[in-house]
Structure formats: structure tokens, C-alpha cells
Structure 1
């Protein structure tokens, strides 16, 4: 049920909701109506764009939503956040409160997804004790695999063998980095864009976490271990078998504080002027 409701006392019949509807299913018949409910992608643009708070949908009331006017960070603030975000490899041995994690992930679920599918599953290992238990299981499994010669022809095992040496000989945890939480983004294989959706969600999480003073790390070695090389960990973590795992991230309170942004060599950028008929773009 869409529960598309229009408050006639507030509606000015401006038509913004109809004009901005991606599915083009809102028409003005004096007041806005949805003519093809099955085509609605549940984006809620109609609720968001209405200047007089006249529209509610999916049981959501505009009066309960956050006003946007002048609330966004400035371009300079966003640039500082993006440039100042660092991959964090040192963490305090301290779990985050569950309500803080839930608030972060609730916001991250607003990240865009293909066809607004909203099917990304965010699986979190909730505290440092659970991560310690998972860590012991992972290192034990890796030692066994290396001893038994599993996946010997896979170059990733060479890297993970180095991780085992660091752990057993130096006590350095280069897999989990001492983080108190693990975050795994997955999505059903049959949704429109499962892997991009996961990457986008984790990117949103990373920036949101940084804005809250938290650290995070995109963890490719854990992705190999928990998903690709030893998929039994997927089952133990409760990742549905029909899901693709986009990536794995660790996060928590950082044990380091970075004081400034850094400069990088500008990446390749092309700004083109497409000329009709010539089949190429001219810079």
C-alpha cells in the first residue's frame, strides 16, 4: 500500500510532485493522484519536494522529516571531509554503543541504489568480544589452509601467509587491525545493481563515520578471507547464499588523530564537448 495522501487544505496544486516524479505516475486532477501505483519506485520525491508539506506516502508524514533548508554542509566542509578522511589502521579496544551503530546504518540506508531497489544488507559484528572470537577463528583457519596447501596457486594466499606471520611472530593483527567492529555489505544477486549498491552504501558509511569522529578501513584481505577463499565464514556470519558480498569494512574509535589533509597528484580528468556526427569527443 502506497498510502499516498494529499492534504487539500495545504496543497497549492503547484504540480511539482508530478513534474519531479521519476516514474511519471502522478497526475493533477485538481489535486495530485497516483495513476499507476504498481510503477511507483518508492523514492518519496513527492513528499520531499512539496513546499507546503501537503503530501504523505508510505505512511511517512512530512512533519516528521528533517528540513533541508540551509542544513547541508558547505562545499568547503565537504571537501575537507573527503580530503581529510584517512584509512584507519589503529583503533581503541572499545566497542561502540549499539544505538550509535544503528543510527549510522539507518542513515546509510538512504544511499542511492539501482532502480531504488534498497536491498543492500549491512551485517555488523557488534562488539570487540565478537570480533576477537571471529579473529581467532579466521587466523586458525588460515593456519590450517597454509599447512594443508589449500589454494596454493592463488596469489592471495601469499599475502595472507604474510598476515599469519605478522600475527604469530609479532602479534600484529594486519587482518582486523584491532578494530572493534566489522561491516559487510551484500545484496541479492538478482537485484538490478548489487555490487555498485554495496560500494555506494559503504562509501556513504565511511564519510558519515568520519564526520562522527570514527575511523574505518576498506579491508580487501578480509573480503578475500570471509567471502572468496573460505565461504564457510559467510554462513557463520549469516550472509544469505543468494547474496553477492560487495566489500568488507572495519570501523571503530580511532587510536590516532590526523591533523590535516594531504595533497595528491591530480587524477586523470576529461571534459569533453560531444560533436554530433563525428563519433568522438573533443576535449
Structure 2
């Protein structure tokens, strides 16, 4: 099942994608793709619905029908850094012995095809295609063997990053990670039953049609189950929390010389089975 949210910014309605690629309206069934709707019981109820009974929404998703972030009312936007050994190498940083945790602010969240804004004064805005994990069943001190049962679904995330703010301005990474529009999420939330092996998904990102990232979740240092278990030692997880699990090599910082976004570029990115995103980069 592919759950989504559609409509103008701030007015998104819940929906899902049918087998013909059309959006079906869920607003008579649930208020939003958020909160307890994402718990196992909520997902199970949605999977029992006869899609033909739901109203069809006019328009083609990601063309003349805008999709918003595939999850609403996100409580926490948790990120894992340096989770691909080859990305750590291009960053001139050691492979971590434990997952590196940082945060994006929820105000960074936008739809999968919304514009990405370069912050004022930025000179080093960068891209990162990442697998997103959305929590369904909450908990803390989650055992790794049980961790995947806490997942509501998976999605594409672009972990847009300002490297000067992240690395050169003191303090934590967070100031370079959470700028407005730095967290496109979607196009849809894909339930785990549609993903045969989340640990072996192709992922890619292009800038103006040139391939920049071409990787796979198979090269993660820490897999999804380990990440969920590890994060839950330090904070309780609630339905709708989002975990972004790291990026493969090919980020702008890793080129010699580095390549950064200046404004006017188009980023396209995707993950096998999870859909794709397209963002225009604009100056503020």
C-alpha cells in the first residue's frame, strides 16, 4: 500500500495510490496520514478497504496534482550520519563505531516536488538521497529482533545540507541540516509488505540530469533494525516519527573540487520501489 497526502501546502488531504497510479481520497476514512493511523492496527484497517469504494482524485500525482509530505504531524525528524562507509571516506571521516544521531527540525519538511531554498548567505548547499523509515508502533529500548515490527513504512528523503553551517560554524551538525525546505519527504509512504528487502534497494540522485549518487541500501554500515533499536535507547519513538538513515557517496562535498548548489538547478532522486522526487533549487 502506498499512502500519501495531496493538495495545497498546509491543506493536504490523506490518500493512497491505486494500482492504476491514480490517487484515491481517504478523507472520509481518516483525518490524516499521521499518529495512530500509522500504528499496526490503523494500517491493517486501511489495507482492508475496497479501493474502488474510495473517490478518485482528479489529476496525475506529481504532475498536475501536488503531493505533500507523505506523513503529517511529524513529532521527531531523526537522522543518521555517515552510515555508508564510502560516504564517510569521501567526507574524510572515519566509519563510526556507533550510529551518529542528529536532527532536522520539523519545519524543514516539505513535499517531494516542492522547491528547495538556498539559505541566505549559503555557499555550500548539498544533496543527499536517503531511505526514510516511518515509525508505526512506538516504544523505547526496542529489541533489534523486534525493530522492523515497529515500522509503518518507508519513503524517499532528500537530506539537504549546508556544509559550512554543518561543519565550519561550531556546535552540532543540526544548524546545517534543518533549514526550511531541507527535508523533502515522499512521494508516498510504502508499507513494508511491498518491500521484499529494505536492505537491498537501489538509490540515486541526479543534478540537472547528471548522475551524482548511485548506490544501494546494501552498503549501509548499520541496518534499519539496528538503527531503530539503537535510537530507542536514547529517546522513546512515537507513531509518525521519521528516521533518515544516511546517504551513499556522491554528495557535492565529496567531489574534487566540491560541487555545491547555487540556485536554478533541478534535483531528481529516487529509491527502488519507493518512488522519486524532483526539486527546483531556488535562492531566497
TM-score norm. by structure 1 comes to 0.26
Structure with a larger share of its residues in strand: 2
Structure of greater Rg: 1
